[in-house]
Amino acid sequence: MSVYLSDARRFVAAATAVLVAAALLLVLPGAQTAHADTSPPAGTPATVSADGLPTVQINGVVWQQALVGDTVFAGGEFSNARPAGAAAGVNTVPRSNLLSFDVRTGVLNPSWAPNPNAQVRAVVKSPDGRRVYVGGNFTSISGQSRYRIAAFDAATGALITTFNAGTNSQVRAIAATNTTVYVGGIFTQAGSSARTRLAAFNASNGALLPWAPTVDDGSVSALTVSPDGTSVIIGGNFLSFNGDPAAPDGLARVDAVSGAVLPFPATTRIRNGGSAGSILGLSGDADNMYGVGYTFGRSGGTLEGVFAADWDTGELTWVADCHGDTYAVWPQGDVVYAASHHHYCGNIRANPQLDEWEFYRAGAFTKAATQLEGREHLGYTNFEGLPAPTKLNWYPDLDTGTFTGQNQGPWAVTGDSRYIVMGGEFLNVNFKRQQGLVRFAVRDIAPNDQGPRFSALDFTPNLRPVGAGAVRISWPANADFDNELLRYSVIRNGAVVWTGDKSSQIWDRPWQGWTDTGLTVGASYNYAVRVADPFGNTVTSPTVAVVADGTGPVSAYAQTVMADGASHYWRLGDGGTTGAIDTAGIDDAITGTALTRGAAGAIAGDSTSAFTFAGTSNSRVIGNTREQNRNTVSVEAWVRTTSNQGGWIVGFGNSASLTGTSSSRDRQLYMESGGRVQFGSSPGQNRTVRSAASYNNGQWHHIVGTLGASGMNLYVDGVLVGSRTDTTTGRNMSGFWRIGGDSLNGWPNQPASSNLAGTIDEVAIYPSELTAGIVAAHNTLGRTGAAPNQPPVAAFSSPTNGLAVDVDGSTSADPDGVIASYAWSFGDGGTATGVNPPAHSYSTAGTYTVTLTVTDGEGATGVATRDVTVAPPAPNQPPVAAFTATPSGLSVTVDGSGSSDPDGTVASYAWNFGDGGTATGPTPPAHAYAAEGTYTVTLTVTDDDGAPTTLAKDVTVTAPPANAPFAVDTFNRTVANGWGSAETGGAWTVAGGATNFSVAPNIGTMRVTGAGFRLSSFLPVSTTSTDLTTQVSMNVMPTGSGTDLELVGRSVGTTDGYRLRLKMLSTGVVRASLVGISAGVTTVGGDHRRVPVAAEDAVHGCGAGVAGRDLGRRDHDGQPGERAGRDVRGGSDARGAVPGGRLGHDDAARQGVGGGDARAGGVDADRHEHHGCAAGRGRCRALGLHLQHHDDAARGRQLVAALRSARRVKRGHATGW
């Protein structure tokens, strides 16, 4: 999403301020924090963090995903994958249309590559998590023929051969129970039977079921099944269902067994279909089904946002009326996430539609309805009055991709209680390279490093002297992708002089400020503003200098207006002949020529004057800065008039002309000809609240209009005189604040004149709803010069746990002081004091009224009540044990991560392998048995309440067949900065600098760049006897003392082991030695053979048989077959045989400064006997290779040794370089 436009949001310091320092971006872990969406106040659900976690990337588009345990299965249209952060085309591995990765790390599963031969459009899991179903256009997958639908074992990734369903054309949607698989798309045949775009198959064998509702046109794009498995929801762009053209467009609800149509009342409001609309996504949780869609040209249906409907009745639960296509939806706990390109959610009091549209492609909503829809006025369907959720402050930035040509970003979203995963065709996330896939995590496991977004000119304070010894510091609010309430600190001359918490969102950045008083008149001061999110991420603004050269006092009224958060404040007491200063912000206004300045002002004890308006178009005041209108606003002014013509007092219009009129007007205060006052808003209709009395009596009147979540309110002289709750939004528009005149055509009780004849003073605009208490205080303060005490406001949270309630009154506040005491009544006779007293326990279940009374320092009180319902805690449900056991030779690998706890978490995992061996954790290391046989593996899981559950399975292990390779690597891949993973034997561990290792097809390269340079690489396998086969070559002849290449048959610790050493001399001779090292003592055995070798193409195949203390070596020079008479054998009589250990390579350059590359074409190792560490014979290490070069002749030369065309590593032999 393009969340901000730098040219449209650029702010410039006032002329009296000088920019003296650049912005600073800091992370301060110890900074104070405020409430936020990832750490919300009571009653607001927490979202995942907006941190885009590193995730495997793809080069196309992901259409859908499923998360099973710790594995994400992602399907779409792509041909390769690459690590997080890698540029396109770098470090890629082939992956065609389907892959999986670990949701905890984002790392690609290297061993699962089904490679369907065409795109995958649908990926879902079975409710029990045992299967993953995929659908699309493919006809082959995992090397098997499958016609557009296939099933995989979720634990092993194996294709389920017993499920062999198929269709004759594309499958676009799948939904599954544990027994039935429902599919939808554009097909006309399933198996050998006719099925029109819908079919169902038996999950056990893929047999076609009789379920056969028909979609008569268009396509099916989405399916979901109710939690009880009784109903199926169908979404698409169809206009006729089951032969009925009158059926609801794009949505249907049918019986899961018979296919009969079921009532679906939600479709009276939600209907998308035809060529210009569709329901694109469906999902569900225990309570609701959720759907999303699009309309094009506003003619293809009604919905572009998200809807929720009740599973049992099909009734609409709520609508999130956002404009902009929505592609996928996923509920997680109390939050519903959506993938979209929303550009307007103003009808639910969220992001407006700017003149230049900004798109938000990842969004989150409350699961619960929290408000009513506002009125639609941009030409879409009007959902006014329907329940709606709140759009939460979660706005990670996902940009548009190019692969589909549709200018979209995310297409898919899934998740669990830990992660939300999005897939699509986006190229970047939060301005960092991350193509096609991204993870977001809950706060407790996320880095939480998405801080305030704006700096430099976009976060530069404005400084203005506002009186003697007083400076107003104002700044544009910053914003955070996942934190709404931020903490601001004003820094004067390097010291913090004010701190406060203020709300903002990425699309809502009102001007904020603070007034510094008590300064030395004429002195210079430097100011900066620092903003922090709840996790210590901070941004500090540029430092700005100002001279405190203001004159005259700043009245208590003016200080209060600014302290109460005014973003604009035109005091209208300016001298001179032009202009009106915005004391609170930066929007200095222009003024008409017919204005009269210097009239007596309205505020008692304030020497500033007011403007007199002539009632003509050239006696107006207009703000000079275009801004986006707000759905939360308060408009305040003091007015005195005797006119019977009425007119505009202050409001918002879209005209920039001083004397012209606006075609769109909103949020305005105006007076009727008879003197009654109205406050108006125009969300598609001109709506007002109106006073009963008239106020054109020549006296000063304090008038305030507010618009916000509570509705519209009108106050006159500190008293509420009119209100309505059905209007919480206004017209979406940009414009200017206009004082004294604008068009009122079409507004109720339109006055005779649009221009007011009278005196106006102290006009203020607030980005908030002023409370009745604040309004009354302003009125009293303006009239008397002294503000009355404002009563405190009581507020509290009351979460329950069984029969107990835990209350917290810390959100209570006193607008003009501090709360002195808190008194609680729990509704059962129990009482308590304090802001957060100990939890109160009720004796019986029921609903009780909890009352909090707060008292301020002057004795005023505020009261809040809330009903709480308590019940005895449900008995703990034991956990469910589940695990897989995969034998391999004499070892078994177990995975218990599929275990779960229905009412908590699994706290521990205990394994018994049936031979006395034990382990802990969900995925312990592989367990090795000493002998063949059948053993009972037992897993005991214990939940967080101490309840255990045990599951046992028999596993059969067999000794590996003789001469079966246990490590094989043909290097058939491309890797930079390392060697990656062998086909058999695990990942290579390299030493000497990863940049000196690389893999090209069939070649692994080690590069040495100077004398004495040493490299090594090892595989994580272990044995006491190895047969190692490889081929090596060098790209240049060695110089100086030559190059050592050691093939490590077995290695323990850092030195001990058995090796075959090839010393490559500058004379073209290769000398081979058998080396054994035990306890640091080296024994060289066997015949030392010298073999002439050319510089570039010498290839040696080497076998090292290491059993006990015997060493053997055979080499050949790259010719077909092995040459007779070149075997070398030897023995070691060093005390203490080296135990089972690692396999590898070692290469060294010992003299001079030469260098080069060692290249491996492959590795093959067999194991003769497998004792290793399991038999207690020492600490085993990975197999490896050492390369060292000695060069005292040709400085700077590079030496390349290559390992080529590996055969295999047989059982009983360890492999390595």
| Domains of the chain from N-terminus onward | 18-38+450-554 (2.60.40.10), 119-236+238-246+253-261 (2.130.10.10), 272-395 (no CATH), 563-770 (2.60.120.200), 800-870 (2.60.40.10), 884-957 (2.60.40.10), 965-1178 (2.60.120.200)
1040: phi > 0 → left, psi -120 to 50 → alpha, else beta; which? left
pLDDT attached to residue 1064: 77
For residue range 640-681, list pLDDT tens digits in order: 999 999 999 999 999 999 999 999 999 999 999 999 999 999
Q: What is the spatial distance between Cα 1045 and Cα 1101, in angstroms, rounded to a whole number?
A: 13
Q: What is the spatial distance between Cα 819 and Cα 1168, in angstroms, rounded to a whole number?
A: 81
| φ and ψ at residue 456, rounded to 5 degrees | 55, -130
Find residue 365's DSSP bridge partners. 336, 391
Given a contact cutoff of 8 angstroms between Cβ atoms, the answer to whether 886 and 892 are in contact is: yes
Comparing 462 with 1087, the larger pLDDT belongs to: 462
Mean pLDDT of the chain: 85
Comparing 246 with 1060, the larger pLDDT belongs to: 246
Token code pair at residue 1097:
């193409």
For residue range 822-838, list pLDDT tens digits in order: 999 999 999 999 999 99
Q: What is the spatial distance between Cα 1015 and Cα 1043, in angstroms, rounded to a whole number?
A: 12
- Measured from the Cβ of residue 965, the count of other Cβ atoms closer than 10 Å reads 24
Three-class secondary structure of residue 1011 per DSSP:
coil
Q: What is the spatial distance between Cα 597 and Cα 1067, in angstroms, rounded to a whole number?
A: 102
Q: Length of the chain, please?
A: 1217
- Give the list of residues 6+ apart from residue 737 with CB closer than 8 angstroms, or none: 568, 587, 589, 622, 623, 650, 651, 652, 765
Q: Dump strand ranges (E) for 1065-1173.
A: 1069-1078, 1081-1092, 1100-1101, 1105-1107, 1110-1114, 1127-1131, 1141-1149, 1156-1167
DSSP H helices in 787-827: none
- Measured from the Cβ of residue 797, the count of other Cβ atoms closer than 10 Å reads 15
Q: Alpha carbon of 839 to those of 278, 309, 811, 832, 835: distances in Å?
A: 50, 36, 17, 10, 12
Q: What is the spatial distance between Cα 850 and Cα 873, in angstroms, rounded to a whole number?
A: 20
Q: Alpha carbon of 427 to those of 41, 60, 813, 1065: distances in Å?
A: 34, 10, 46, 51
- Give the list of residues 6+ apart from residue 868 with CB closer than 8 angstroms, or none: 798, 800, 805, 847, 848, 849, 850
Q: What is the spatial distance between Cα 427 and Cα 403, in angstroms, rounded to a whole number?
A: 10
Alpha-carbon Rg for the chain in angstroms:
38
Angle between helices 772-784 and 556-563 (to 10 degrees): 160
Sorting pLDDT into bands at 50, 70 and 90, what band is 1169? very low
Given a contact cutoff of 8 angstroms between Cβ atoms, the answer to whether 94 and 116 are in contact is: no
Token code pair at residue 133:
């179903």
Cα angle for residues 459, 465, 469 (degrees, 5° grid): 125
Given a contact cutoff of 8 angstroms between Cβ atoms, the answer to whether 104 and 442 are in contact is: no
pLDDT attached to residue 876: 87
Closest by CA position to 749, among listed 808, 807, 689: 689
Which of 117-126, 603-612, 1015-1024 has the lowest average pLDDT?
A: 1015-1024
Sorting pLDDT into bands at 50, 70 and 90, what band is 52? very high
Closest by CA position to 1027, among listed 1071, 1118, 1087, 965: 965
| φ and ψ at residue 272, rounded to 5 degrees | -130, 135
Q: What is the spatial distance between Cα 1038 and Cα 1061, in angstroms, rounded to a whole number?
A: 16
Sorting pLDDT into bands at 50, 70 and 90, what band is 1014? confident
**How does DSSP classify residue 237?**
S
Sorting pLDDT into bands at 50, 70 and 90, what band is 1164? low
Comparing 897 with 698, the larger pLDDT belongs to: 698
Q: What is the spatial distance between Cα 1007 and Cα 761, in angstroms, rounded to a whole number?
A: 80
For residue range 212-264, list pLDDT tens digits in order: 999 999 999 999 999 999 999 999 999 999 999 988 999 999 999 999 999 99
- Give the list of residues 6+ apart from residue 1171 with CB closer than 8 angstroms, or none: 1023, 1024, 1139, 1140, 1177
pLDDT attached to residue 995: 86
Token code pair at residue 185:
């798309």
For residue range 357-411, list pLDDT tens digits in order: 999 999 999 999 999 999 999 989 999 999 999 999 999 999 999 999 999 999 9
**Between the CA atoms of 1131, 1132, 1136 and 1140, what dihedral angle is there, to the nearest 10 degrees?**
-60
Q: What is the spatial distance between Cα 1033 and Cα 1094, in angstroms, rounded to a whole number?
A: 9
Q: What is the spatial distance between Cα 373 and Cα 382, in angstroms, rounded to a whole number?
A: 9
Given a contact cutoff of 8 angstroms between Cβ atoms, the answer to whether 883 and 899 are in contact is: yes
Sorting pLDDT into bands at 50, 70 and 90, what band is 1032? confident
* Average pLDDT, integer, range 787-809: 90
What is the biggest distance separating any 2 CA atoms in the chain, rounded to whole angstroms?
123
Q: What is the spatial distance between Cα 196 and Cα 218, in angstroms, rounded to a whole number?
A: 11
